[in-house]
Amino acid sequence: MILHELLTYETLRVIWWVLLGVLLIGFAATDGFDLGVGMLLPFAGQTDLERRIVINTIGPVWEGNQVWLILGGGAIFAAWPPLYAVSFSGFYIAMFAILAALILRPVGFKYRSKRESARWRSNWDWALFIGGFVPSLIFGVAVGNVLLGVPFRLGTDLRIYYDGGFFGLLNPFALLCGVLSVAMLAMHGAAWIVLKSSGIVAERARRFGTWAALATVLLYAAGGLALWLFVDGYRISGAVDPNGPSNPLAKSAEIAPGAWFANYAAHPWMLLAPALGFLGALGVLWSLKTGREVRTLLLSKLAIFGIISSVGLSMFPFILPSSVMPGASLTVWDASSSHLTLFIMLVCTGIFLPLIVLYTAWVYKVLWGKVEEKDITESGHAY
């Protein structure tokens, strides 16, 4: 109880904002290379054996990596209920498309090698490509739309009304963010294939990874420039109580040009995030040429950390702005669960999150090493 009293409502809200970012970055850094491998599967592997090698680089770990997506969704549901309600209802069709694509992965892994038919296996290879490409694209499109503002409003009883449609999400800036997401995760998948394979498969992955890393740098720069020139940000225009009750309508907010860059001007240390995004991707370019496999993967994770965290830092304290009713925008200070709920969840997270990290690290240690041809031809357990 003493700890509960020491951790103010404001502090807990910030902690859970950070934890949400950790879970989303954790998903991108782990399951992200699974998605990237799926996208590169038809290209890094040309023969059936080569494609089986690519699949088996992620075969033992992809299911465990999806835990981060479940944790992220659970954290949004429990810590930020209005955010969960708006995003999962407003982006319903997009979420359905993501889930449908993700379902293709386990089915593809299990059924691909059930028949010797080349056409059968090729069709499942492209299904796995879709299972990697579609979520990568839509996740990026979603982030782009969050930066633009989502067309929702709140009634006086805090009932949520969503005024947008699915095709409205496919605007130029959001699609640019989607393509950036695809390039970033393709780079990450290539780094993983290079680490876990050898020979011609690794060489092809190195080539595709080089192009993906270059695209990541250029698209990230283009996204930042577009955000500065064409996208208006949001800012709180009145007083706000960080320890007050969760009521988005209790504040005033407005749309303002350049507002998404105000945090960087006020807190220059935040510039470290976009710097890490650029340096990580450029480091992947350099590391792929020097053959440093572990370093390539770590630099790829660094790029992901920098790119995703730069979005969160630029938006703080906003977590979901409203384009049609700026005052109803959801922020860290007015969209959270109660003080007690956040505290209980923090205690549970402090117990179970380290266990998940330790177990994941142990699994990767046990499964360390490259996937070779003999592992496919001599094992009856390979995909």
* Cis peptide upstream of residue 317 (ω within 30 degrees of 0): yes
Residues paired with residue 318 on neighbouring β-strands, in sequence order: 331
Distance CA 108, CA 130 (A): 11
- On whether residue 382 sits in a domain, the answer given is no
| 96, part of any domain | yes
What mean pLDDT comes out for the span 195-206? 94
Look at residue 142 and tell me if it is in a domain: yes
The pLDDT value given to residue 4 = 59
Buried b / exposed e along 233-247 (16+ C-beta atoms within 10 A): bbbbeeebeeeeebe
User: Using 50, 70 and 90 to split pLDDT, how confident is the model at 3?
Assistant: low
User: What is the total count of domains within the chain?
Assistant: 1
Sorting pLDDT into bands at 50, 70 and 90, what band is 253?
very high
- Kind of pairing between the strands at 253-257 and 318-320: unpaired
| Over residues 239-255, mean pLDDT | 91
134-149 per-position pLDDT tens digit: 999 999 999 999 999 9
User: For residue 303, what are the domain limits?
Assistant: 2-377
| In the predicted structure, residue 68 carries a pLDDT above the cut 80 | yes
Inside any domain, residue 169: yes
Q: For 302-356, how does the pLDDT look when each residue is reduced to its tens digit (9 = 90+)? A: 999 999 999 999 999 999 999 999 999 999 999 999 999 999 999 999 998 899 8
Helix (H, G, I), strand (E, B), or coil: what is residue 22?
Answer: helix
Q: Is 199 part of a structural domain of the chain? A: yes
Indicate the range of 2-6, 100-104, 244-248 predicted with least confidence: 2-6
**Is residue 303, in this structure, part of any structural domain at all?**
yes
Residue 286 resides in a domain: yes
Asked if residues 305 and 29 have their Cβ atoms less than 8 Å apart, the reply is: yes
pLDDT-above-90 percentage for the chain: 69
In a domain, 155, yes or no: yes
- Is residue 1 scored above 60 in pLDDT? no
Amino acid at 102: L
Res. 188 pLDDT band, cuts 50 70 90: very high
The pTM of the full predicted model, rounded to 2 decimals, is 0.93
